[in-house]
């Protein structure tokens, strides 16, 4: 992935996030094809919540629609409204459900609520009556996550009283896996069997269970619609194994200033790092306000011209200091960029250092970065 930083926005930017749309599209096609391998038709949605995991839903959504994606999931209704403006005709499902008095917003913007309990179902049915239209509905069954979704008793009510769905078009039955990234965990099979029982009791509606890692649990988990988020953006759906997905983001940050300090001097707030030798320190335009977590202190690395460079001292709000003593001076002049995420450092690497997961690294990607979208289709044709 390469791009030049000559445009006005990137020339001024302290940090540039490059998003590779062709790689996201290729990841989507790869997951879709994994579903197609089953034998019966399986479609592949895209989960675009949290601004497409930090990559930019307003750009990624239309790009995936152009690639053939016909189903989109977001968490908040506001995310759905924003996505509807750029994806005019595919269903957009709102995972967080139907909040009181938002029915007109769903109808006006053509959004579909994921109904998480009977009260929401009743409210949506009443809306269908008021609008005199067969509104689309998604039913989310809780098979073990215990966050959102119809619990077992409410699910049984639905099975026994199908009339409760009258006036609605049942667009999808769904559930969500608890430990899909652990293929050996018996909880997967337990959830699968609960979901299967429910789907069999509600014939005629398409069903969806698998998130990114769930897709790799095999065809039993695929049903009719795959629901990946993370893997689209290059997060490894198989922790501990080689990542089958293409990486989709890189973050380049500019050096603002360099200085040479003597031995036994401290760098940054709290005097948390002390030089053992005369040291060349470079200060870069990145901080915890950009999602470079404060607990990366004295742990992470960046790369300059392929060379590994340690982060030293505390992470400030807007600044990070690095030890460039071993880097040729010409490679670390002010204005030069260092690679924070990319070829040498994955979101998983940063997550390990920050004691979190790659999802949090991605969704925390800073709002101050200049975002540069590249889409070299020749690189990743179907």
Cβ proximity to ligand PLP, 95 vs 155, nearer residue: 95
Q: CB of residue 198 vs ligand PLP: minimum separation in angstroms?
A: 16
Q: State the residue for tokens 């601004």.
A: 51
Q: Is 287 in the site for ligand PLP (CB under 6 A)?
A: no
Q: Which of 191, 212, 236, 345 binds ligand PLP (CB under 6 A)?
A: 212
- When the beta carbons of 80 and 228 are compared against ligand PLP, the nearer one is 228
Least gap, CB of 320 to ligand PLP (angstroms): 28
Active site positions, annotated: 49, 269
Alpha-helical regions (H) of the chain: 8-12, 21-36, 49-53, 57-67, 77-84, 103-108, 118-131, 152-160, 186-201, 212-215, 347-354, 358-363
> What's the distance, CA 240 to chain centroid?
19
SS3 42: coil
The span from the CA of 141 to the CA of 175, in Å, is 5
Q: Does 363 interact with ligand PLP (rule: CB under 6 A)? A: no
Which of 31, 34, 47, 94 binds ligand PLP (CB under 6 A)? It is: 47
Residues 156-195 that bind ligand PLP (CB under 6 A): 176
Can you say whether residue 144 is alpha, beta or left, with left for phi > 0 and alpha for psi between -120 and 50 degrees?
left
Q: Which is nearer to ligand PLP, 49 or 314 (CB)?
A: 49
Q: Are 128 and 163 in contact (CB under 8 A)?
A: no
With CB under 6 A as the contact rule, which of the stretches 8-16, 229-237, 258-266, 345-353 interacts with ligand PLP?
Answer: 229-237
Q: Which of 54, 228, 287, 313 binds ligand PLP (CB under 6 A)?
A: 228
Stretch that binds ligand PLP, among 62-70, 84-92, 228-236, 336-344 (CB under 6 A): 228-236
Residues 346 and 358 sit within 8 Å (Cβ to Cβ): yes
User: What does DSSP assign to residue 267?
Assistant: E
User: What part of residues 7-36 is at the interface with ligand PLP (CB under 6 A)?
Assistant: none
Give the CA angle between residues 78, 195, 174 to the nearest 5°.
Answer: 15
Least CB distance from residue 382 to ligand PLP, whole Å? 22
Helix (H, G, I), strand (E, B) or coil at 345: coil
Task: Tell how strand 337-341 and strand 249-261 pair up.
Answer: antiparallel
97 binds ligand PLP (CB under 6 A): no
Residue 138 makes contact with ligand PLP by CB under 6 A: no
71 or 254, CB closer to ligand PLP?
Answer: 71
Query: Of 32, 227, 314, 371, which one interacts with ligand PLP (CB under 6 A)?
Result: 227
Out of 35, 97, 229, 313, name the contact with ligand PLP by CB under 6 A. 229
Binding to ligand PLP (CB under 6 A): which residues in 238-267? none
Stretch of residues binding ligand PLP (CB under 6 A), selected from 22-30, 198-206, 224-232, 270-278: 224-232
Our finding on whether 222 is near ligand PLP (CB under 6 A) is: no
Phi (first) and psi of residue 76, to 5 degrees? -105, 150
**Per CB under 6 A, which region of 222-230, 294-302, 314-322, 366-374 contacts ligand PLP?**
222-230
80 lies in the binding site for ligand PLP (CB under 6 A): no
- CA-based nearest residue to 179, from 149, 203, 205, 211: 211
Using CB under 6 A as the binding criterion, the count of chain residues that bind ligand PLP stands at 11
Closest separation in Å from C-beta 316 to ligand PLP: 31
The number of CA neighbours under 13 Å toward the Cβ of 80 is 28
CA 342/CA 89 separation, integer angstroms: 34
Distance between CA atoms of residues 40 and 52, nearest Å: 28
The smaller minimum CB distance to ligand PLP, of residues 231 and 249, is found at 231
258 forms beta bridges with 282
Place of tokens 């499902």: 93
> Residue 274: phi, psi to the nearest 5?
-130, 135
Residue choice 120, 211, 275, 283 for contact with ligand PLP (CB under 6 A): 211
Query: Which residues form the interface with ligand PLP (CB under 6 A)?
Result: 47, 49, 95, 176, 211-212, 227-231
């Amino acid at each position: 992935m390469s791009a030049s930083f000559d445009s006005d926005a990137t020339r001024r930017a302290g940090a540039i996030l490059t998003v590779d749309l062709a790689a996201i599209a290729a990841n989507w096609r790869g997951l879709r094809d994994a579903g197609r391998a089953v034998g019966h038709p399986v479609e592949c949605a895209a989960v675009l919540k949290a601004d497409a995991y930090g990559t930019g839903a307003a750009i990624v959504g239309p790009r995936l629609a152009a690639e053939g994606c016909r189903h989109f999931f977001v968490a908040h209704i506001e995310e759905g409204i924003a996505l509807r403006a750029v994806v005019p005709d595919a269903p957009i499902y709102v995972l967080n459900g139907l909040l009181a008095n938002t029915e007109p917003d769903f109808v006006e913007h053509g959004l579909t609520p994921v109904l998480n309990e009977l009260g929401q179902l009743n409210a949506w049915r009443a809306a269908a009556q008021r609008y005199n239209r067969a509104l689309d509905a998604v039913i989310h069954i809780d098979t073990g996550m215990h966050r959102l979704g119809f619990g077992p008793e409410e699910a049984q009510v639905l099975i026994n009283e199908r009339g409760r769905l009258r006036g609605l078009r049942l667009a999808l039955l769904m559930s969500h896996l608890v430990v899909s990234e652990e293929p050996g965990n018996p909880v997967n099979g337990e959830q699968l069997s609960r979901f299967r029982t429910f789907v069999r009791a509600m014939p005629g509606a398409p069903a969806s269970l698998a998130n990114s890692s769930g897709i790799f649990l095999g065809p039993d988990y695929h049903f009719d619609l795959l629901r990946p988020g993370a893997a689209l953006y290059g997060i490894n759906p198989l922790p501990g194994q080689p990542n089958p997905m293409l990486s989709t983001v890189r973050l380049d940050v500019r050096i603002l200033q360099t200085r040479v300090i003597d031995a036994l001097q401290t760098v940054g707030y709290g005097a948390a790092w002390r030089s053992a030798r005369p040291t060349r320190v470079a200060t870069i335009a990145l901080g915890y306000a950009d999602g470079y977590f404060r607990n990366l202190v004295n742990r992470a690395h960046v790369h300059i011209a392929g060379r590994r460079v340690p982060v030293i001292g505390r992470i400030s709000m807007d600044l990070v200091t690095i030890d460039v003593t071993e880097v040729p001076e010409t490679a670390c002049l002010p204005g030069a960029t260092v690679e924070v995420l990319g070829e040498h450092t994955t979101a998983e690497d940063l997550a390990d250092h920050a004691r979190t997961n790659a999802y949090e690294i991605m969704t925390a990607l800073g709002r101050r970065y200049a975002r540069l979208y590249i889409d070299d289709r020749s690189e990743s044709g179907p």
